[in-house]
Amino acid sequence: MPGSGLVIFDCDGVLVDSEPISIRCTAAALNRFGYPIDEDGVFDRFLGASTASMVATVEASLGRPLAPEALDDLRREILAAFDRDLTAIPGVAEAAARLERPFCVASSSIPERIRHSLRLTGLLPLFEPAIFSATMVVHGKPAPDLFLLAAKRMGADPARCVVVEDSIHGVRAGQAAGMAVLGFTGGGHIAGDPARRERHAWRLKQAGAALVFDRMEELPGLVREVSG
């Protein structure tokens, strides 16, 4: 129904527990490219950012372009690691099934990676075809473009949308789109370190998250709460 509410999920770190894998692979690759960074640095600088945004930052710092084949190698390494290790965020399928409004995915990842991740974890049937990628817009997160595109395609009023995000970039994008944002800290890249979880929860709130949570079973009630 035009103007209806909508829940917009980020994918990595919200639907699938992919960020520990991606962060590990990305840190190793960037060091090979000559850009010194550890896993904490990747978390702080690039969590939630599109590949294009990360590459632009790295290339500006290095003063030279990254070889396209090097980026292709990184994508292959991440996907191979997903095949071995990727799991769904605990309880996310059950939580999505209990939502009282439509839902979709809007991720900084490329469409092939989003679908691959959802297929590996058994979540694809829940979301197909309501899958939106930063490759579909000019400006990725923290710009609002991707979330606004998802709302438009799903026939939803942005003011009645709720975004579920684990990253500062994503929270800022949801805020810029005029949507309520729930910050999620239950992914393995955050929940495994209590000090990081506390710090990241504070940063999500500072970026504009209305509420922060770490267990997916809480999601339906929180959506109702922030939706008024």
The domain made up of 19-85 has a fold known as DNA polymerase; domain 1 (1.10.150)
d(CA 62, CA 34): 8
In this prediction, residue 2 carries a pLDDT of 46
Average pLDDT over residues 9-36: 94
CA angle 125, 126, 128 (to 5 degrees): 60
pLDDT exceeds cutoff 90 at 49? no
Span 111-169, pLDDT tens digits: 999 999 999 999 999 999 999 999 999 998 999 999 999 999 999 999 999 999 999 99
Render pLDDT for 173-196 as a digit per residue (tens, 0 to 9). Answer: 999 999 999 999 999 888 878 888
pLDDT of residue 13 exceeding 80, the answer is yes
Taking a C-beta distance cutoff of 8 angstroms, is the pair 167, 13 a contact? yes
3: confidence class by pLDDT, cuts 50, 70, 90:
low
Distance of CA 211 to the CA centre of its chain: 17
For residues 228 and 173, the model is more confident at: 173
For the chain, the straight-line distance linking the first and the last C-alpha, in angstroms and rounded, comes to 19
Side chain identity at residue 114, one-letter code: I
- Which residues does residue 4 pair with via DSSP β-bridges, in sequence order? 156
Query: 111 by DSSP, 3-state: which?
Result: helix
Residue 41 burial (CB count, 10 A): 15
Tokens in use for 148? 């606004």
Residue 21 CB-density burial (10 A; 0-12 exposed, 13-18 middle, 19+ buried): buried
Give 47's pLDDT tier (boundaries 50, 70, 90).
confident
d(CA 81, CA 179): 34
Instruction: Say whether pLDDT at 1 is over 60.
Output: no
pLDDT > 70: what percent of the chain? 98
What is the pTM for the complete model shown?
Answer: 0.87
Q: Per-domain residue ranges for the chain? A: 4-17+87-226, 19-85
Is residue 151 a contact partner of residue 6, using CB atoms and an 8 Å limit?
yes
Instruction: Please say if 38 is a catalytic residue.
Output: no
Res 170: pLDDT: 95
**Which CATH architecture group holds 4-17+87-226?**
3-Layer(aba) Sandwich (3.40)
SS3 64: coil
Q: Of residues 10, 12, 17, 166, which has the active-site annotation? A: 10
Average model confidence (pLDDT) for the chain? 93
